[in-house]
Structure 1
């Protein structure tokens, strides 16, 4: 995994504030987070052998943010320490619905550059799979992808300007229903006529992307490896916190792909893992381990 490490500062609120509105939070928690670290922890807890390339700062959050990686058994030898603050995510969670709203401050993640990637080249050369997200500088993502022959899982979240060829190397590209359209716009593809998730998948494949997975929240996911799009519905669960559920999905998907599973099997498993994660609070604390029972349901 090459990606971001954050401290998640999570506020439980009765509802998300409107512009200009002040509300009182009912709870405050700090958890290790960051899309990259979350996905690494999710994959490692499911039995994958995971190493992480990233950066933390020199503030009090640094040790706390790598604790989840360390406890999950992720190799963190390539995590650099740079001057300044660690990345932070400010998360409000609606206590009625479990839906979240997130603002991210990059902090040390902005220091993940081509130089850091070069120092980790041996690690990349030994990897079967490289997983990237959109929370580190695009030049670092390109360096990690193009300097390795490993299969690339690209979770372009958030959608940031990256090279076309990086997106086309994704196998698969993983985005949610909103990000899929943003990626098409980034590629110069119109989206006004795309009224279904299937049409978005087909348009992404037409741009030269090898395989596409679009997550649909409680509706599951839709995917294609170049053939007809297929949907996977999610088990019905009582959601309490959706923070990090998408990262649980990507981590689980990556773990199964690395183990040699075909894309459909990996997506079906990842949907169940994501559904499990929303039944618990926080991001990394909500991810299942080998002793946890995943929800069953319509697939």
Structure 2
């Protein structure tokens, strides 16, 4: 039996409470949910689920409190093929819990999530064993949260020649620190380093000037932009039916990380890797919630 590629993912885990609605409620109004879901969430956590679904051995490192709801987060990830390491017990209260509403007609989502504690600067726990966690790992993905865990792992990975991928939705005060340990930055079109004013070329230039080897900008249903040391361009996204956009970006990142882990980081192959990961993310759009799509064949399996 062929050994599966190994992806280490480090970052945020939340508990997502997701409601499907016909429309968002107005102030002081209640609306009935058409469906609902409770599952683990967070950028790196969802990416881990996607990496596992694509065929990788996905190892997820995070911080969670000692609480029954945190146990539910871990149980959901384990049930979907993810090996979970809670590297730090983060208090005794409930885990960060996201309240999410998905509009049925468009698949658009509205999210409220308390992620402030995951952005705080904290000391790295003594028990974080990078050597053990990175054993035979082929790619690392971090989401910028829990830097006291993800940055030491990313630095250790790069010392071993293991490519490090960043999932970044928006610029944060500590983004320079994170970018210093990254080979591939996959950012959204909301990501705007100081002085770039959000222009795509300026954003790419800013990231490359910070030592990133490859930059990818995702733009929802619009073409994905990229620049590598050997090429630059865009990859068109196939039009697919959309029932729910929640988690699609995370699943793109997890699929991309799987692809890099399986085949290696190859500058010339980046457009193909983007197209492959986009097809996986597209498969997640066709059903409500972040888990039901996992039971369906992926495009490359049909």
- Shorter-chain TM-score: which interval? 0.7 to 0.9
Q: Counterpart in 2 of 1:234? A: 237
Q: Which residue of 1 aligns with 2:142?
A: 132
Would the alpha carbon gap of residues 286 and 190 (structure 1) be closer, same or farther in structure 2, given more than 3 Å must change?
same
* 1:175 pairs with one of 187, 190, 193: 187
1:266 paired with 2:273, answer: yes
Q: For 2:57, what is the secondary structure of its paired residue?
A: coil
- 117-126 vs 229-238, which moves further: 117-126
Q: Give the equivalent residue in structure 2 for 1:120.
A: 129
State the partner residue of 1:144.
Answer: 153
CA distance in 2, matches of 1:295, 1:14: 33
Matched length? 284
Deviation by residue 1:260-298 (Cα, 9 ceiling, x = unmatched): 253222211111011111112212443467x433599xx
Q: Structure 1 residues 46 and 114, CA, compared in 2 at 3 Å: closer, same or farther?
A: farther
Task: Give the RMSD, CA atoms, in angstroms.
Answer: 2.8
Specify the alignment match of 1:32 in structure 2. Answer: 40
Cα 1:12–1:72 shift into 2, 3 Å: closer
Q: Name the structure 2 match of 1:293.
A: 299
8 A Cα contact 2:11 2:61, kept in partner? yes
Where does structure 2 lack aligned partners over 5 or more consecutive residues? Answer: 1-8
Give the Cα separation in 2 of the matches to 1:2 and 1:249: 16
Task: Output the TM-score relative to the length of structure 1.
Answer: 0.83
1, 10, 17: which one pairs with 1:2? 10
Deviation digits for residues 18-46 of structure 1 (CA, Å, limit 9, x no counterpart): 6x463514243212212121111100111
3-state SS, counterpart of residue 299 of structure 2 = coil
TM superposition score normalised by structure 2: 0.82
Q: In 1, Cα distance between the equivalents of 2:274 and 2:138?
A: 19
Q: Residue 111 and residue 25 in structure 1: after superposition, are their counterparts in 2 closer, same or farther (change >3 A)?
A: farther
For residue 176 of structure 2, the aligned residue among 164, 167, 172 is 164
Corresponding residue for residue 279 of structure 1:
286
Question: C-alpha distance in 1, partners of 2:171/2:178?
Answer: 13
Report the secondary structure of 1:280's partner residue: coil
Give the whole-Å Cα distance in 2 for the aligned partners of 1:3 and 1:158.
15
Distance 1:117 1:220 in 2: 43
